[in-house]
Amino acid sequence: MILPDRDCKRAYVWLAAIFAAFAGTSYAATPFYLGDWRVAGATRAPWADPAHPLDDAEPARLRGHVIAIRPRGINGPPPFPCPAAHYRLTDYAADMLFQGAFGEMHAKTASVDPVKVAAGLGFHNSQTRTLETGCEFDFHFVDATHAQVGLNDYVYHLKKQ
């Protein structure tokens, strides 16, 4: 079937309008930090006072559990649920990691090098990608699939699922 010229023009205008509508639509990439993060283990935090024994019950209870970072909040075993999380992704120097704990260590003892302390936990870049949550904890990313969270004198090691 051959379309008359005016029908052909209408079809082209209609198709052009559809393409223009989709061309203006942008799809944001899903942030890398969203998803399920399994607690792979825990180590005594470098800032923990060696004179005070730590309770191993919390790390044992959390090991193997999943912390789910969702667009509108964080799910997981206590103390990780945070339904009103407000995310802010930023880069921290070593002295600012774990809410400034390495900087505080250096302030108390000048010989403590925050960069070396951070490297001991696997942070080898001059800046560490950090997800501030507005909750009791922040996520510090070693890379796109490994993160660490400091809580109650432990550093929890997380692996993306």
- Give 65-124 pLDDT, tens digit per residue: 999 999 999 999 999 999 999 999 999 999 999 999 999 999 999 999 999 999 999 999
- Give 131-143 pLDDT, tens digit per residue: 999 999 999 999 9
Note the pTM of the prediction, 2 decimals. Answer: 0.81
Is residue 127 assigned to a domain? yes
CA distances from 149 to 14, 17, 73, 125, 133 (A): 53, 49, 16, 17, 11
The structural domain count of the chain equals 1
Is residue 110 assigned to a domain? yes
Q: What is the rounded average pLDDT for all residues in the chain?
A: 89
Domain extent, residue 40, equals 35-160
Query: Tokens 């998803």 map to which residue?
Result: 35
Is residue 7 assigned to a domain? no
pLDDT recorded at residue 121: 97
